[in-house]
């Protein structure tokens, strides 16, 4: 049987920096990255293809749209100038039954404006499931596509984030990773950068091994878990989740894509990076005014942090207690490995999952029935 396709693309921001980390052995400055604009990136693309191919094994073949990964980005000049090509890429992948997984290498920016160029209804004609991996700017993609029976929209790691996520994680746990090495405060970032870069290739391979395991219904090495922060939960409940990045969820309100984020009978998952607490409060208020908080069965919080304010999940909890309807006593759960953080665990959108709660400790864990979303489990309805 012909190997099924796992396709790697970058339809938000391009992924030049991520490609360079596969081969450069150092963190390039923005100036050096711009200086590489004339380079073909052939070596990096081959490295990515070889690494991913080895990780997924002989039953799958890796395809990559090199032009989209290496496109130019100018945030002072409308970001990217390849909207037609990016929309066509997504359109063709949604319609192609040969594609078993779509991996967006990173999030970034510039994708939301493409939505009206994509006909998501082609997913109704798929005979085989398509697993879509993406986070951050890909929030609309995984939620909109995830409404369709044959599309499994996973709010999960864009593997290019492995560098930034691991670097921050090491900085936050510097004593554990330094293992007795004496470092001054101004050496922490350089140490964390070196550690993250050394782990980048292995982390990328681990991710693609997880992709295959998920596609085959065998599960994922990364499991969403955390604790109950407010409200009450039974020991076991079946829930469905919508949402993702807060600043990508709010712009969907009042658009044709708002139903993909409707919280009626669902839990709303939220995370954010590099927005201040006051900006987050403003966006949460926007969700309230659109009825999402009132209709939500529960709230899942991921990581909230910015370079200026650090981590501020407790502030978001206080905001939610202010904005949530007092009569509902909506439960609030924090998932430690959800958001712009490492490690990240996948959250499926619009799919039944099991939320387990241990009352004595307050711990929660989300169990995902991966085997129900394989080609066998999602045979076309007759």
| Average of per-residue pLDDT across 231-243 | 97
CA distance 137 to 246: 10
Give CA torsion, residues 223, 263, 130, 345, to 10 deg: -20
Query: Domain of 304?
Result: 225-373
Q: Could you read off the pLDDT of 152-178 as tens digits, one per residue? A: 999 999 999 999 999 999 999 999 999
In a domain, 167, yes or no: no
The answer on 112 and 25 residing in a single domain is yes
Q: Could you read off the pLDDT of 44-76 as tens digits, one per residue? A: 999 999 999 999 999 999 999 999 999 999 999
Number of folded domains in the chain?
Answer: 2
What is the CATH number for 304? 3.50.30.60
pTM: 0.94
Q: Could you read off the pLDDT of 280-325 as tens digits, one per residue? A: 999 999 999 999 999 999 999 999 999 999 999 999 999 999 999 9
Structural contact between residues 68 and 10, judged by C-beta atoms closer than 8 angstroms: yes
In a domain, 380, yes or no: no
In a domain, 288, yes or no: yes
The answer on 251 and 156 residing in a single domain is no
57, with CB counted inside 10 A (0-12, 13-18, 19+), is exposed
Q: What are 160's two structure tokens?
A: 């290019």
Instruction: Provide DSSP, 31-98.
Output: HHHHHTTTS--HHHHHHHHHHHHHHH-TTEEEEE-HHHHT---BTTTTB-S-HHHHHHHHHHHHH-TT
In a domain, 353, yes or no: yes
In a domain, 131, yes or no: yes
The answer on 202 and 283 residing in a single domain is no
What pLDDT does residue 45 have? 96
CA distance 271 to 109: 16
The answer on 288 and 264 residing in a single domain is yes
Q: Sorting pLDDT into bands at 50, 70 and 90, what band is 28?
A: very low
In a domain, 111, yes or no: yes
The answer on 247 and 208 residing in a single domain is no
């Amino acid at each position: 049987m012909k190997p099924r396709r796992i396709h790697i693309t970058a339809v938000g921001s391009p992924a030049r920096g991520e490609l360079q980390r596969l081969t450069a052995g150092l963190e390039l400055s923005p100036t050096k990255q711009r200086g590489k604009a004339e380079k073909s990136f052939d070596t990096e693309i081959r490295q990515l293809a070889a690494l991913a191919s080895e990780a997924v094994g002989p039953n799958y073949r890796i395809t990559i749209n090199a032009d989209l990964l290496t496109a130019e980005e100018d945030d002072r000049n409308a970001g990217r100038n390849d909207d037609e090509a990016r929309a066509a890429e997504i359109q063709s992948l949604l319609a192609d039954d040969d594609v078993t997984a779509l991996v967006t290498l990173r999030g970034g920016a510039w994708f939301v404006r493409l939505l009206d160029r994509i006909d998501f209804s082609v997913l109704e004609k798929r005979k085989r499931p398509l697993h879509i991996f993406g986070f951050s700017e890909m929030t609309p993609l995984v939620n909109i596509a995830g409404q369709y029976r044959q599309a499994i929209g996973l709010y999960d790691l864009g593997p290019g984030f492995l560098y930034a996520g691991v670097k921050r994680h090491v900085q936050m746990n510097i004593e554990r990773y330094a293992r007795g090495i004496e470092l001054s405060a101004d050496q922490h970032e350089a140490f964390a950068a070196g550690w993250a870069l050394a782990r980048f290739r292995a982390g990328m391979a681990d991710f693609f091994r997880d992709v295959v395991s998920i596609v085959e219904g065998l599960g994922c090495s990364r499991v969403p878990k955390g604790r109950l922060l407010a409200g009450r939960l039974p020991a076991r409940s079946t829930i469905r989740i919508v949402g993702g990045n807060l600043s990508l969820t709010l712009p969907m309100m009042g658009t044709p894509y708002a139903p993909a984020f409707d919280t009626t009978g669902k839990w709303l998952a939220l995370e954010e990076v590099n927005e201040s607490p006051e900006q987050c409060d403003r966006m949460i208020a926007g969700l309230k005014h659109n009825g999402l908080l009132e209709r939500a069965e529960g709230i899942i919080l991921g990581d909230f942090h910015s370079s200026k304010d650090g981590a501020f999940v407790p502030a978001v909890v206080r905001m939610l207690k202010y904005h949530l309807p007092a009569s509902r006593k909506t439960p609030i759960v924090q998932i430690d490995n959800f958001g712009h953080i490492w490690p990240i665990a996948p959250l499926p959108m619009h799919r039944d999952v099991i939320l387990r709660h241990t009352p004595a400790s307050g711990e929660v864990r989300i169990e995902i029935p991966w085997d129900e979303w394989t080609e066998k489990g999602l045979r076309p309805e007759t």
